[in-house]
A and B are shown apart, each in its own frame.
Chain A
């Protein structure tokens, strides 16, 4: 079974600074997707960024970028120019590319990010 581990329960960053959240995963599959979700106090799950395992290029979405190391099974999220609105729980998630069955998201335990003004 696939597992996703986020080793940092809490992180803090100064506003306008850069922070990196860590995620490792374990799988025997070669074709899969990785995601970072943000959960603000409203508890809504918001997709931040996604990465296809077959792509070597790291995904980027505005101030958010990832460092995808497939061999090391590592998938970290970098937030640049942190803003107060970035404060939230961040979840790393994995999904195998399995058609329409067994392709559920497997989540890590989350990292709570605090942004200091």
Chain B
């Protein structure tokens, strides 16, 4: 158990639908990062939150949005889903500035759009 909890582990939904992925960071970590990994590809950075505020955006589609709540858990909302959105979505957390360690990753949510 890495300390980063992602739910659900698996999600199957139809095109056009909306889903919410949830991430609870490791205790004490203030930053949350969302990544998308399509089949047999590398991880693409989507968005970062730090202590409730958006801090950086990557290649995140307009159909996707995220937020970080006061208790530091984060949610990634995916709407108007398309077949190409099928992927493994990772959440990672880290402490703060100057954290030279790599981030701690959750086990991911596998999204299948049918």
A residues with CB within 8 A of B: 33, 35, 37, 42-45, 47, 50, 52, 91, 93, 95, 97, 99-110
Contacts and interface: CB of A to CB of B under 8 A. Distances in A.
Contacts of A95: 102
Interface residues of B, number: 31
A109 B41 contact: yes
Contacts of B98: 97, 99
B88 A43 contact: yes
A102 B31 CA distance: 11
A107 B58 CA distance: 13
Contacts of A91: 42-43
Nearest to A104: B45
Nearest to A42: B107
Contacts, number: 71
A100 B98 CA distance: 8
Interface in B77-114: 88, 90, 92, 94, 96-98, 100-103, 105, 107-108, 110
Contacts of B2: 44
B102 A101 contact: no
A25 B51 CA distance: 30
Contacts of A35: 102
A37 to B, nearest CB: 7
Given A47-B101, A50-B100, A107-B42, 4 more contacts: A45-B90, A52-B100, A97-B100, A105-B33
B43 A100 contact: no
B12 interface: no
Given A33-B100, A50-B101, A104 B42 contact: no
